[in-house]
Amino acid sequence: MSLVTAVRDYINRMLQDISGMKVLILDSHTVSTVSVAYSQSELLQKEVFLVELVDSISKSKESMSHLKAVFFLRPTSENIQRLRRQLASPRFGEYHLFFSNLLKDTQIHNLADSDEQEVVQQVQEFYADFVAIDPYHFTLNVPSNHLYILPAVVDPPSLQNFCDRVVDGIAAVFLAFKRRPIIRYQRTSDIAKRIAQETAKLMYQQESGLFDFRRTEVSPLLLVIDRRDDPLTPLLNQWTYQAMVHELIGIQDNKVDLRSTGKFPTDQQEVVLSSEQDSFFKANMYENFGDIGMNIKRLVDEFQQIAKSNQNIQTIEDMAKFVDNYPEYKKMQGNVSKHVTLVTEMSKIVEERKLMLVSQTEQELACNGGQVAAFEAVTNLLNNESISDIDRLRLVMLYALRYEKESPVQLMQLFNKLASRSAKYKPGLVQFLLKQAGVDKRTGDLYGNRDFLNIARNMARGLKGVENVYTQHQPLLFQTMESIIKGRMRDVDYPYVGNHFQQGRPQEVVIFIVGGTTYEESRSVALQNASNSGIRFVLGGSVVLNSKRFLKDLEEAQRIARPSTTVL
């Protein structure tokens, strides 16, 4: 049930029955879907000799009728329009159309109308409408993600588009797995409820024939939850490899763009971090920073050994061996320099922003008690000149999320200090966050202080001590997964849609977080899957968040929501 394998199977099937030289034409969304799962060299092996975007292709007038065109697009109205224009004056010999989601009948009719030359050979729906960044983690790269925060009355058509895109993505995941799930959602979130209900309508009413798969003993589970139930995880600084790279530099579709952080030679400006293609990354993506440093040093030592022996060519056999092993050597060299560059960059950023200091306080705010000590620590850091504005903002937010009820006076003091110190800080952002994701709005037990069992567990953990101060925090998702495994998820907090009901425990669970996932959470899921509990989890979200992205979404939502609140 790996997402990457599902997408690869779809692409293989698209290309295998078409012989001869091919052109693959994608749109801006499907290009992400295909790029994370399939490489250029693999496309070349399948005789696809040109890849183009559907919007740029219409500008060229050249006719290439010896090529067969394979289109893989999302079935949006703009794409259908572009296709119609293409079909009216075709450039290629044959046209094979594949759509990543359900086509409406009117769209098929429109296409058929424009196909006067009858160049279209097939029209198929291949449901790869999500970006499979890791085997058990997918994202939808929704452009205006901040819409999930706003109430429905603010901009109903945009919110409808958002929900439609999410529902399409979730449906595609289940079609790719050939399953129809029982659906549960987080009661306190309107948008989660809406998405859950619309997905149920699609799967059980509108397209019930398409989703009518062979029933397994226990149906799989789809759980739709809201990002605002755990605002803590995206705000924290990360110290495990994949999450840290995304937090400090930024990963998009498994690519890291280093151009913004400094000057690099051309072949290191953009690098690929994919667990499927890079075995060192696969082994180290969930390890913490200290261990990564050691492993990279070991990798560099190995490489240096090989490099030295390569320079030591004395006999003909040595020469022959060198020529044989050259491609491997070159690949290893590229890989080693990529990881060394990344770790160096991250160390530099950690040093500049004093993240060791900041993160220690963050983790204490997230995990341990002690309001007085926390207040002191945050005040000290706010007074510290070398802490950046965004880190100050995050600290105050973390304090506010935890201690919003305990001493309002001190909280106000922190707000004032923050406003006076940070020039770029938008006033009211922290209050906005509290309004959206404060303790009254949250369902889950974020700090482990609501439920006796959790309090006891925290005390036990405190007594035992932690291995690593910087990775103490465990996302709320971990507790959610545990409660699913034990079959103890409360109906009152996470109701079923309609009259669904689950007997026993599900074997396959897809958790969708509206508002975005984080790499820390996908790490939790991967570790859980590796622990052989008998249940396979898949995580998905509208985007992949880091603290910058999360704050941007909050700011954007606040900006849109503000006019309406001042009117009131």
Partner 1 sequence: MATRNRTAMYRKHRDAVKSVRAPLSSSASGSGGPVIEMASLLSSNRSSYAPLSTEDPGPSSRDAFTVGLPPAWVDDSEEVAVNIQQARVKMTELVKVHAKALMPSFGDGKEDQHMIEALTLEITDILRRSEKRLQKLSASGSAEDSNIRKNVQRSLATDLQNLSMDLRRKQSTYLKRLQQQKEGPDGVDLEMNLSGNKSRLEDDEFNDMSINDYQMRKLKKSEQITGEREREIQQVVQSVNDLAQIMKDLSVLVIDQGTIVDRIDYNIQTVAVSVDEGLKQLQKAERTQKKGGMVMCATVLVIMCFFMLVLLILKEIFFSS
Name residues contacting partner 1, limited to 127-156 (CB under 8 A): 127
**x-or-dash string of contact with partner 1, 93-122, rule CB under 8 A:** xx-------xx-x--xx-xxx-xxxxxxxx
Between 127 and 289, CB nearer to partner 1: 127
Q: What burial class does residue 530 get, using C-beta atoms within 10 Å of its C-beta: 0-12 exposed, 13-18 middle, 19+ buried?
A: exposed
User: Of 302, 324, 440, 482, which one interacts with partner 1 (CB under 8 A)?
Assistant: 324
Per-position b or e across 454-477, b if 16+ CB within 10 A of its CB: eeeebeeeeeeeeeeebbebbbbb
Long-range contacts of 249-254 (CB under 8 A, 24+ apart): 249/342, 249/345, 249/346, 249/349, 250/546, 250/548, 251/519, 251/544, 253/32, 253/35, 253/36, 253/131, 253/133, 253/141, 254/36, 254/133
> Which span (37-45, 139-147, 293-301, 407-415) binds partner 1, by CB under 8 A?
37-45
User: Of 153, 323, 492, 530, which one interacts with partner 1 (CB under 8 A)?
Assistant: 323
Helices within 178-315 (DSSP H only): 190-201, 232-235, 241-248, 279-284, 289-311
State the greatest distance between any 2 C-alpha atoms of the chain, in Å, as a whole number: 86
Between 103 and 429, CB nearer to partner 1: 103
Are 27 and 141 a contacting pair, CB within 8 Å? no
Note whether 234 binds partner 1 by CB under 8 A. no
Note whether 124 binds partner 1 by CB under 8 A. yes
User: Of 73, 132, 159, 176, which one interacts with partner 1 (CB under 8 A)?
Assistant: 176
Shortest reach from residue 66's CB to partner 1, in Å: 3
User: Of 81, 205, 208, 277, which one interacts with partner 1 (CB under 8 A)?
Assistant: 277
Note whether 210 binds partner 1 by CB under 8 A. yes
Sorted by sequence, the CB contacts under 8 Å of residue 341 that are 6+ apart come out as 258, 264, 268, 271
> Which span (89-97, 367-375, 382-390, 395-403) binds partner 1, by CB under 8 A?
89-97
Distance CA 103, CA 106 (A): 8
User: Of 2, 39, 144, 379, which one interacts with partner 1 (CB under 8 A)?
Assistant: 39
User: Of 156, 301, 312, 316, which one interacts with partner 1 (CB under 8 A)?
Assistant: 316
Closest CA to 130 of 88, 159, 185, 167: 167
Shortest reach from residue 102's CB to partner 1, in Å: 8
* 272: enclosing H helix or E strand: strand 270-272
Between 111 and 400, CB nearer to partner 1: 111
Tokens of 380: 């000290």
Note whether 318 binds partner 1 by CB under 8 A. no
Between 35 and 558, CB nearer to partner 1: 35
User: Of 297, 331, 486, 562, which one interacts with partner 1 (CB under 8 A)?
Assistant: 331
User: Of 4, 15, 27, 35, which one interacts with partner 1 (CB under 8 A)?
Assistant: 35
